[in-house]
Amino acid sequence: MLPLRPDPGVDPSLQALVARAYAQADACELDAAQASIDEVRAQARAAGCIGPQVHALVLASIIALRRSQPAEGMRAAAAARGLALSTGDAELLAHARLSMARVNYWTGANDEALTDLEAVWPIAEQSQDLRLRFSCANYLGIVVGIVGHHERGMHWCHVAQGIAERWGQPQLAATAAANAAGRHIDIGELADAQGRTDDARAAWLEAVRACEAALAAAQARAFELARENEALSQAAQAFSEQALRDPLTGLANRRRLDEVLPLAWSRARSQGAPLCLALLDADHFKRVNDTYSHAVGDAVLRELGALMQSHCREGDLAARFGGEEFVLLIPDTDLAGAQRLCERLRAPIESWAWSSIAPGLAVSASLGVANIAEAEDATAGLARVDALLYEAKRRGRNRVIATLPSPP
């Protein structure tokens, strides 16, 4: 997007809204741009700011042209000029006159367009406003060539290309280079008509070179967009992963489990395969927080997460369910195998050197495990595992329970 000159007298949020409207217009999002324009005009009127109103009218003129409404485009451009004149701001007036030149060029009134463009350039040349500078030079390259001054037109195309390249805008450099190619073609056709064959060939060769430059600039922009898209894709993936991961332990979080569990249950049911689920709870964890501090409690949870992850096989999923509760999803494993896996996890938890975190600290865990593929749905399976975990705690904690006692 082409940057605009910052206006210290305008609220930054309003300037940002103007910039957004320009970006939407540049992307041909005309309805969105029109909505932003309406918002700019309403806020600018309420604040008594003329500059944003001028830019809104300039944008309204551009949108009208893209919708093939030149009369509406000229009305908006003329209104922008009237407002700009009232401020005495030369750059605002230049933007408005450039808008009028754009409409005149669009309607074929090239002499009038050239008059406005030549008046705008001395201001644009000294401006730090890239949009104003590039657009004026670019239109001069087109209009000057159209009225028959091909060499001068080519000069302005090169000026526009240089502005775009200096500001790192390869897509605009490609536009200017393509316009320069058009001027070379015009020069070649004129030379050919006058019988100057060598001059015609030279001009057409320059046209080819200009097209190659335009292609190179367009390819550079395509490469730039590809890199931007890759960066956005990586950022989106990283954000998605963060959204599904518990920040304390690094395990999957409850949201991730809620996504995976119903799908895993449906797969197991359709394939007739076992799907075991274990629920682990750190015993007397409240005492750890109360006795040693929440910082120590967090360290315990992190280590529990690491121990669970280290006991996961390929295809298993370890997740923090909430608080001091963890879940281990164990597909394609029968209940006996899952029970053995849970025991291999429980024993290292009990024997781990917890005193290295805090002197006298001891931690154990209770686990309930069941084959939830036998349940009527994933929710019912989770409820069964929760009941088994409760039974493990009822029996004294620090144990794995896979079956509930028979009712009396």
The predicted structure's pLDDT at residue 296: 94
Contacts 24+ apart (CB under 8 A), 251-254: 251/305, 251/308, 251/309, 251/318, 251/319, 251/320, 251/326, 252/317, 252/318, 252/319, 252/320, 253/319, 253/320, 254/319, 254/320, 254/321, 254/322
Pairing of strands 365-371, 400-401: parallel
The amino acid present at 282, given as its one-letter code, is A
| Residue whose structure tokens are 């037109």 | 153
- Domains in the chain, ordered, with CATH? 12-237 (1.25.40.10), 254-401 (3.30.70.270)
The amino acid present at 220, given as its one-letter code, is A
Q: Identify whether the C-beta of residue 129 lies closer than 8 Å to the C-beta of residue 5.
A: yes
Contacts 24+ apart (CB under 8 A), 400-404: 400/339, 400/342, 400/343, 400/346, 400/366, 400/367, 400/368, 400/369, 401/366, 401/367, 401/368, 401/369, 402/335, 402/338, 402/339, 402/368, 402/369, 402/370
Q: Exposure of 351 by Cβ count < 10 A (0-12 exposed, 13-18 middle, 19+ buried)?
A: exposed
Assigned token pair, 11 = 């609220």
- Rounded Cα distance between 230 and 33, Å, is 26
Q: Identify whether the C-beta of residue 283 lies closer than 8 Å to the C-beta of residue 350.
A: no
Q: Rounded to the nearest 5°, which phi and psi values hold at 89?
A: -90, 115
DSSP assignment of 102-128: HHHHHTT-HHHHHHHHHHHHHHHHH-S
- Rounded Cα distance between 305 and 359, Å, is 21
**Helix, strand or coil for residue 253?**
coil
Give, for all 408 residues of the chain, the pLDDT tens digit. 444 555 555 677 778 888 888 888 877 788 988 898 898 888 888 888 888 889 889 989 999 988 889 899 999 999 999 999 988 889 889 999 999 998 998 888 989 999 999 999 999 889 888 888 888 988 888 888 777 787 788 788 888 888 887 877 777 777 777 666 666 566 666 656 767 777 656 655 665 565 666 566 656 656 665 676 676 566 656 656 667 888 899 999 998 899 899 999 999 999 999 999 999 999 999 999 999 999 999 999 999 999 999 989 889 999 999 899 999 999 999 999 999 999 999 999 999 999 999 999 999 999 999 999 999 999 999 999 999 999 999 999 999 999 877 665
The predicted structure's pLDDT at residue 215: 61
List, edge to edge, every strand of the sheet that includes 275-282.
Answer: 317-322, 325-331, 275-282, 365-371, 400-401
The predicted structure's pLDDT at residue 2: 46
Q: 151, 230, 324, 376: which one is catalytic? A: 324
Segments of 22-110 assigned E as strands:
none
Catalytic-residue membership of 125: no
Pairing of strands 325-331, 365-371: unpaired
Q: Exposure of 234 by Cβ count < 10 A (0-12 exposed, 13-18 middle, 19+ buried)?
A: exposed
